[in-house]
């Protein structure tokens, strides 16, 4: 009996060791040791005090951008290995624009925005490489990746505001709405009186179209509907007078009518604050309606980016095409909604070829090679796919046609 158990144990161990995802105790120990060393080093940098500004002041590549992500690598150093949540992401958020970031769950949308705010889970989450250049209201450009935590607190509050999917997680359930709004003003405008803060908070509730703002001011978060809570979150964000609003799935938890109202509100707000919005969503419909530029992410990388017209009229990457096919359309007559087969690769163990290859219906010989380079299709349109070279002539023709139609439309208008 003992022998049989021993044999079974050995068989199981052998099977585990043969498995690609098996990590032995020794490996976990070694990884944890190495990761602790890296984290310690990075945290030492993050926690430095009285650092001279010159260490993190930089220059924007283009002064018309609010943010420039430049080869951003944002990793989580876990005991199971390094989670490459964001692995070499570059894109710009131009002033007074809405940039939509889209991609399926786990592709690194939220981590990209958290890296910008320097709010990744500490201490495992770190910016491992690359720059995030931020064009501040004071005219200076900051390389956020190098800004120590102490100084980041000053930049973050005055410049950026974040709106999350579920407002209940950001609102404190034990304080009234008014108290939470006033608190923001006390932080941003030291010396403001209680009465002034109250009046400002109520005015902001009016701005975000909340009926009976005086009454809402005295209520607790649980006494409000989901849509009202999201409006309160937007009011809170606006009280900081931000340059940039990061909205991470701001309407996912809301029904379609309220969703449309919140999106309208965000659009108006962008004009009011004369700032930019980074809109994160997995919903391409929302992006089509709202964004000027679109960034499509897949497994921590950008696989395609361009103007909203380029991404919707002329998508090149099979993943972007697949995402668009999976939007429900009444006119298509299809009974079953398209879904992209397969799953995203494990971010700890990414392949050395195109991350989408195993799910791609268009893969061909070249796709067995290294991860494809990002290729420029137009001044604003880029894609990382071997198909681009094959399709270049076809794409150019298509683009010409799109341009011609747009000009025709302009002349008509
Ligand atoms: N604190 C953490 N520790 C380890 N891994 C993390 C942590 N936070 C996020 N990740 C991993 O980083 C990757 C990117 O996560 P992220 O939250 O950015 O995805 P997302 O695109 O926002 O997805 P969703 O649409 O579901 O919100 C995922 O693989 C996720 O598991
Ligand atoms: S590189 Fe090849 S496998 Fe990857 S998305 Fe393009 S066609 Fe598909
Ligand atoms: Mg997310």
Among protein residues, the one whose CA lies closest to atom 6 of ligand 2:
385
Give me ligand 1 centre to Cα 334, in Å: 33
The residue to mutate among 110, 115, 295, having the most atoms of ligand 1 within 8 angstroms of its beta carbon, is 110
b/e sequence 341-354, b meaning 16+ C-beta within 10 Å = eeebbbbeebeeeb
Contact indicator for 221, 177 with CB cutoff of 8 Å: yes
- Hey, which of 76, 102, 278 would you mutate to test ligand 1's pocket, going by the most ligand atoms within 8 Å of its Cβ? 76
Alpha helices in 47-123 (DSSP H): 109-117
Three-state DSSP state, 140: coil
Residue 404 Cα to ligand 2 middle (Å): 29
According to the model, what pLDDT value does residue 362 have?
93
CA atoms within 13 A on the CB side of 356: 30
Which residue's C-alpha comes closest to atom 24 of ligand 1?
105
Q: Is the domain 53-297 a CATH 3.20.20.70 member?
A: no
Closest by Cα among 149, 105, 106, 107 to 127: 149
Q: Where are the alpha helices (DSSP H) in 308-379?
A: 308-313, 318-325
Q: Residues near ligand 2 with C-beta < 6 Å?
A: 317-318, 354, 356-357, 360, 362-363, 367, 372, 385-387
* Residues 209 and 231: beta-carbon distance below 8 Å: yes
Question: What pLDDT, on a 0 to 100 scale, did the predictor assign at position 240?
Answer: 81
Residue 130 Cα, ligand 2 centroid: separation in angstroms? Answer: 26
Q: What share of the chain is helix, strand, coil (3-state, %, to 5)?
A: 45, 20, 35
Residues framing ligand 1 (Cβ under 6 A): 76, 78, 83, 85, 103, 105-111, 121, 124-125, 282, 347
Whose CA is closest to atom 20 on ligand 1? 106
pLDDT at 256: 83
Domain boundaries, the chain: 53-297, 300-412
Measured between its terminal Cα atoms, the distance across the chain in Å is 87
**For residues 88 and 158, what is the distance between their CA atoms, to the nearest angstrom?**
28
Tell me the CA–centroid distance for residue 46 and ligand 1, in Å: 22
Instruction: Report pLDDT for 337.
Output: 66
Going through 95-230 in order, the beta strands assigned E by DSSP cover 98-102, 125-135, 141-143, 160-163
**In the prediction, which pLDDT does 396 show?**
65
Contacts of 65 (CB under 8 A, 6+ apart): 92, 93, 94, 95, 133, 135
- The predicted pLDDT at position 15 comes to 65
| CA 125/CA 146 separation, integer angstroms | 15
Count how many residues are written for the chain.
413
d(CA 387, CA 397): 16
Q: Which helix (H) or strand (E) holds 66?
A: strand 65-78
SS3 266: helix
Q: Can you give the pTM of this predicted structure?
A: 0.88
Q: Which residues surround ligand 3, an ion (CB under 5 A)?
A: 110
Q: Which of 247, 76, 219 is nearest to 161 (CA)?
A: 247
Residue closest by Cα to atom 11 of ligand 1: 85
Q: Whose CA is nearest to atom 4 of ligand 1?
A: 76
Instruction: List the pLDDT tens digit at each of the 413 positions of the chain.
Output: 667 777 777 777 666 655 556 667 787 888 889 999 999 999 999 999 999 999 999 999 999 999 999 999 999 999 888 999 999 999 999 999 999 999 989 999 999 999 999 999 989 999 999 999 999 998 999 999 999 998 998 788 778 988 887 777 789 999 999 999 999 999 888 899 999 999 999 999 998 889 999 999 999 999 999 889 989 999 998 888 889 999 999 888 778 888 888 888 888 888 888 899 999 998 888 999 999 999 999 999 999 999 999 999 999 999 999 998 877 665 555 566 677 888 889 999 899 999 999 999 999 999 999 999 999 999 999 999 999 987 766 766 766 776 777 778 778 76
């Amino acid at each position: 009996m003992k022998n049989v158990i021993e044999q079974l144990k050995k068989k199981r161990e052998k099977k585990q060791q043969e498995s690609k995802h098996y990590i032995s105790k020794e490996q976990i120990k070694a990884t944890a040791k190495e990761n602790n060393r890296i984290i310690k080093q990075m945290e030492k940098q993050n926690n430095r005090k009285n650092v001279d500004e010159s260490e993190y002041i930089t220059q924007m590549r283009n002064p018309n951008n609010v943010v420039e992500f430049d080869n951003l690598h944002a990793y989580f150093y876990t005991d199971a290995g390094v989670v490459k949540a964001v692995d070499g992401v570059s894109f710009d958020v131009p002033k007074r624009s809405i940039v939509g970031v889209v991609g399926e769950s786990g592709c690194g949308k939220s981590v990209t925005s958290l890296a910008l705010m320097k709010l990744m889970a500490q201490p495992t989450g770190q910016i491992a490489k690359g720059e995030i250049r931020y064009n501040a209201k004071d005219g200076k450009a900051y390389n956020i990746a190098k800004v120590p935590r102490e100084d980041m607190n000053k930049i973050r509050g005055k410049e950026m505001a974040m709106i999350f999917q579920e407002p209940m997680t950001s609102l404190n359930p034990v304080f009234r709405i008014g108290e939470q709004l006033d608190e923001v003003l006390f932080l941003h405008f030291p010396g403001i009186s209680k009465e002034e803060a109250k009046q400002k908070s109520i005015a902001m509730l009016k701005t975000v179209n909340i009926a009976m703002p005086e009454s809402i001011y005295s209520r607790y978060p649980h006494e409000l509907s989901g849509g009202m809570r999201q409006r309160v979150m937007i009011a809170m964000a606006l009280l900081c007078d931000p340059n940039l609003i990061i909205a991470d799935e701001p309407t996912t938890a809301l029904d379609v009518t309220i969703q449309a109202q919140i999106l309208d509100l965000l659009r108006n707000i962008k004009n009011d604050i004369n700032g930019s919005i980074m809109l994160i969503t997995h919903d391409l419909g929302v992006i089509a309606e709202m964004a000027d530029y679109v960034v499509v992410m897949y497994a921590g990388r950008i696989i395609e980016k361009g103007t909203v017209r380029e991404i919707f009229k002329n998508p090149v990457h099979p993943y972007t095409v697949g995402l668009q096919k999976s939007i429900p359309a009444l006119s298509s007559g299809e009974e079953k909604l398209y879904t992209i087969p397969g799953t995203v690769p494990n971010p700890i163990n990414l392949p050395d070829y195109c991350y989408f290859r195993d799910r791609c219906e268009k893969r061909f010989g070249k796709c067995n090679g290294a991860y494809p380079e990002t290729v420029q299709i137009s001044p604003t349109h880029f894609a990382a796919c071997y198909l681009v070279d094959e399709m270049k002539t076809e794409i150019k023709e298509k683009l010409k046609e799109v341009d011609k139609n747009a000009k025709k439309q302009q002349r008509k208008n």
